[in-house]
Chains A and B, each alone.
Chain A
């Protein structure tokens, strides 16, 4: 009885790790599917019951690893409200695609009472897999990116929780796209963090 209880319970920290892991595969999937980097710089990895592609570009890893680490710490402090992958043209710097992960955090304590929620990890991974599957499928309706593009990662945080933000982060605008079209993808929940995914793109007129 107790065994099933501990297996199904999830803490804030554990949830942050799960969500961070999802962002890692999510961002890599976006970069692969949208062709930001050449396909041969990705290797296959089994995750969530899917075969996902993860970049092998050392410079990209150098960029993503600290980013994800700090995102995880924001998540564990309940400070992260949104994570946005912005895709822009290299030449014009025009934003042409925004992948938005909106995060709602449940009111839980870091330790002691009311610090865990019940949800089967298998179920969480299944939900994450569904979102990643949708990211993969989204290439069918998104316009082709015809010029070289680069990406940036934005986060929306609570102002009061950013006092000791690492120097890597600087203030920024929202990088919105004018008259964008938005497609809402699935959401997943770790019972602590609810993540809603959406993609906005410059319509191909």
Chain B
């Protein structure tokens, strides 16, 4: 019964907590022996009824230590400096600091219970505590002084896309730091193989696209199929007129609501995949085969076999908003830079053109090398010799790795590690050259299209299940577990 009373008296309802903060703490401090003793008893009865009514506070959880401290101080008679925590109003202080909304019941001054300048006072108190002072008090330049600035606003600007805040957090957030690099198994066999009859054996095409939506669009000759990896469903989206309109490129819009389908004649159609309906046609004059496409919001940029790049604004009737003539050979790769300010196009003429600036990667089609450029400075940073024609490149952000698809005669997929660009895997699976690579929206899977009439799904970038990154991605995209 005595325990129960004790429990009641220390129950931490907000009011009693406040009261103790104001008065009782110091009172308890003055009678350390008895308080300590009581609490020590109290600690042996964790199932005390009084406790259940209110959450534990720190004082209740570690009572024995406080009692020891007190007895020590008494024993040694102040020979050592032992901070007397019970005398300082720690709880009140921390409560006052953490409380952002001015709590009127805690305002100890009765004359001004709800003064409007309370917040301001708090701020000043906080600043005092942090030993800071307002610069308005500072006397700045004296009269006889001159303030000069060196080449005003002429310090070089930080590179485009540079995020200041990242500096603090570059380490330990990537899964590569939790999954040991050496022990990561890169599967050498495909997770799944899809049959792809009639796939066009030409890498000046973009036959698969998965990246922006968790539905894979694949072109097989004159037909566009959608494959949903969650459900395994396969559906025919569109069928083009045989003999006249070979489909050569597909691209999802960023939100996955539209699919752009480009054909041999240069005509590009937009489809709504949920309704299997053609929404509109995009035509331009004197065009040739559409070889690659890229979306940026509502702008669709299309690269053509003639070397031309035409940008359409799909919202307006006369959709052509830009024509870029920079290549004498077919355009084979087109990408926006990360911040969306620049468009890079690569052509069969071994040129990479950067429109309105730059991008990080390029592929050279007739050349068994991968060249990496630092787009900010325009310098060549790395040349890799891979032994066969490079047909596709994708980058993986989570692991900082680069996947390269190769042509004849190796027909392999290679993975390189950034920034050293050492080869960490060479996967031979396809029996003919790779035509294209596409990455899943979660970044873990890569699908490859090959001239051996198959699509293979690879689980190259397994993310550690414990990392938050995966959680984040799970919530963002529908789960890929159905694949396994």
Q: CB within 8 Å of B: which residues of A?
A: 32-39, 57, 59-60, 63, 67, 70, 81-82, 90, 98, 139, 144-160, 162, 165, 168-174, 176-183, 200
B465 interface hit (Cβ, 8 Å): no
Contact A63 B156 (CB under 8 A): yes
Contact A182 B148 (CB under 8 A): no
Q: A177-B135, A180-B134, A181-B130 are in contact. Are A171 and B147 (CB under 8 A)?
A: yes
> Which residue on chain B has the smallest CB distance to residue A63?
B155
Please tell me which one of the listed residues B127, B151, B156 contacts residue A57 in the complex, with CB atoms under 8 A apart.
Answer: B156
Give the Cβ gap from B17 to chain A, nearest Cβ, in Å. 28
Contact B152 A152 (CB under 8 A): yes
What are 27 A-B pairs with beta-carbon distances under 8 A? A33-B167, A34-B164, A38-B162, A38-B167, A39-B167, A60-B156, A63-B156, A98-B135, A139-B168, A152-B149, A152-B152, A154-B148, A154-B149, A155-B149, A162-B146, A169-B149, A170-B148, A171-B146, A171-B149, A174-B141, A176-B140, A179-B134, A179-B135, A179-B136, A180-B134, A181-B134, A183-B130
Please tell me which one of the listed residues B130, B145, B152, B159 contacts residue A170 in the complex, with CB atoms under 8 A apart.
Answer: B152
Give a binary string over B143-182; 1 marks a CB under 8 Å from any A CB, 0 the rest. Answer: 0111111111111111100111111101000000000000
Give the Cβ gap from A24 to chain B, nearest Cβ, in Å. 14
Complex CA distance for A172 and B151, rounded to whole angstroms: 11
List 15 additional contacts besides A60-B156, A180-B136; criterion CB under 8 Å: A35-B166, A39-B170, A63-B151, A147-B164, A148-B158, A149-B164, A151-B155, A153-B149, A153-B155, A154-B150, A159-B144, A171-B149, A172-B149, A176-B140, A200-B135
Give a binary string over B19-54; 1 marks a CB under 8 Å from any A CB, 0 the rest. Answer: 000000000000000000000000000000000000
Contact A153 B145 (CB under 8 A): no
Which residues of the partner chain B approach A139 to less than 8 Å between Cβ atoms? 168
- What are the 10 tightest A-B residue pairs by CB atom distance, in nearest-first order? A35-B167, A172-B149, A180-B135, A35-B164, A59-B156, A169-B148, A181-B132, A145-B164, A153-B150, A159-B146
Give the Cβ gap from A4 to chain B, nearest Cβ, in Å. 39
B380 interface hit (Cβ, 8 Å): no
Contact A174 B156 (CB under 8 A): no
Q: A60-B155, A159-B145, A174-B140 are in contact. Are A67 and B164 (CB under 8 A)?
A: no
Contact A158 B164 (CB under 8 A): no
Complex CA distance for A181 and B146, rounded to whole angstroms: 24
Q: Chain B contact residues: over half helix, strand or loop, or mixed?
A: loop
> Which residue on chain A has the smallest CB distance to residue B143?
A159
B133 interface hit (Cβ, 8 Å): yes
* Most A Cβ at <10 Å: residue of B144, B159, B162, B166: B162
B138 interface hit (Cβ, 8 Å): yes
Which residues of the partner chain B approach A35 to less than 8 Å between Cβ atoms? 163-168
Complex CA distance for A125 and B453, rounded to whole angstroms: 69
Complex CA distance for A90 and B161, rounded to whole angstroms: 13
Interface size in chain B (residues, C-beta < 8 A): 35
Contact B140 A154 (CB under 8 A): no
> Which residue on chain A has the smallest CB distance to residue B160?
A148
Q: CB within 8 Å of A: which residues of B?
A: 127, 130-136, 138, 140-141, 144-159, 162-168, 170
Which residues of the partner chain A approach B151 to less than 8 Å between Cβ atoms? 63, 67, 168
Contact A155 B150 (CB under 8 A): yes
Complex CA distance for A39 and B165, rounded to whole angstroms: 11
Give the Cβ gap from A203 to chain B, nearest Cβ, in Å. 8
Complex CA distance for A154 and B141, rounded to whole angstroms: 12
Which residues of the partner chain B approach A145 to less than 8 Å between Cβ atoms? 164-165
Complex CA distance for A101 and B235, rounded to whole angstroms: 69
Give the Cβ gap from B296 to chain A, nearest Cβ, in Å. 21
> Which residue on chain A has the smallest CB distance to residue B138?
A182
Which residues of the partner chain A approach B140 to less than 8 Å between Cβ atoms? 174, 176
Q: A35-B165, A35-B167 are in contact. Are A176 and B135 (CB under 8 A)?
A: yes
Give the Cβ gap from B25 to chain A, nearest Cβ, in Å. 30
Give the Cβ gap from B221 to chain A, nearest Cβ, in Å. 46
Contact A67 B144 (CB under 8 A): no
Contact B133 A182 (CB under 8 A): yes
Complex CA distance for A172 and B153, rounded to whole angstroms: 12
> Which residue on chain B has the smallest CB distance to residue A154?
B149
Which residues of the partner chain A approach B158 to less than 8 Å between Cβ atoms? 36-38, 90, 148-150
Complex CA distance for A10 and B164, rounded to whole angstroms: 40
> Which residue on chain A has the smallest CB distance to residue B154?
A63
Give the Cβ gap from B125 to chain A, nearest Cβ, in Å. 14
Please tell me which one of the listed residues B148, B153, B165 contacts residue A146 in the complex, with CB atoms under 8 A apart.
Answer: B165
Complex CA distance for A59 and B376, rounded to whole angstroms: 12
Give the Cβ gap from B303 to chain A, nearest Cβ, in Å. 30
> Which residue on chain A has the smallest CB distance to residue B151?
A168
Which residues of the partner chain B approach A200 to less than 8 Å between Cβ atoms? 135
Which residues of the partner chain A approach B136 to less than 8 Å between Cβ atoms? 178-180
Q: A60-B156, A139-B168, A152-B155 are in contact. Are A165 and B134 (CB under 8 A)?
A: no
Q: A35-B166, A147-B164, A174-B141 are in contact. Are A162 and B156 (CB under 8 A)?
A: no
Which residues of the partner chain B approach A168 to less than 8 Å between Cβ atoms? 150-151
> Which residue on chain B has the smallest CB distance to residue A151?
B155
Which residues of the partner chain A approach B147 to less than 8 Å between Cβ atoms? 154-156, 171-174
Contact A182 B132 (CB under 8 A): yes
